[in-house]
Amino acid sequence: MPTIYLISYSSDAVMNWAGEPYRHYKEVLRAVPRHALQLSSVACSSFTYPSLANGRRRRVLDAVFGEICMQDVNAQKAVEDAASEAREAMGKGAKTMLVEVECTGDAMRSRAVAEVLKEELESFGVDVELEHIRGK
């Protein structure tokens, strides 16, 4: 069965101000087999960031946040494109792949998109190893 390593994170959670990766990010990447095919990364910074009626950005329940985030057409397309790329790679014989889902600021959108992508990939028989890297 093919395996996809799916990593979601905020850019400031994996790199310091000097552009050097944090130890935890390096450890997560070390767990991914070297022969894994790196698929396109998903950049979530342009996806809708749900806010409350008062217009202030605030964290809401992950499920509610994810539901609102996935109403964004760009987020839906990103999930479709990543799943399609994975299916195409498997059709060419790839058994182990890596997909990174990155966001700027906090990792709320990347977590939401990664969870939906995981469900999509599992629906066509892929074993998905999902790791959410939280900010400092």
Answer whether residue 108 shows pLDDT above 80: no
Domain boundaries, the chain: 3-97+106-133
Answer whether residue 55 shows pLDDT above 70: no
Answer whether residue 106 shows pLDDT above 70: no
Spatial CA neighbour of 131 closest among 31, 2, 6: 6
The per-residue pLDDT for 109 is 82
Give phi and psi for 36, each to the nearest 5: -65, 135
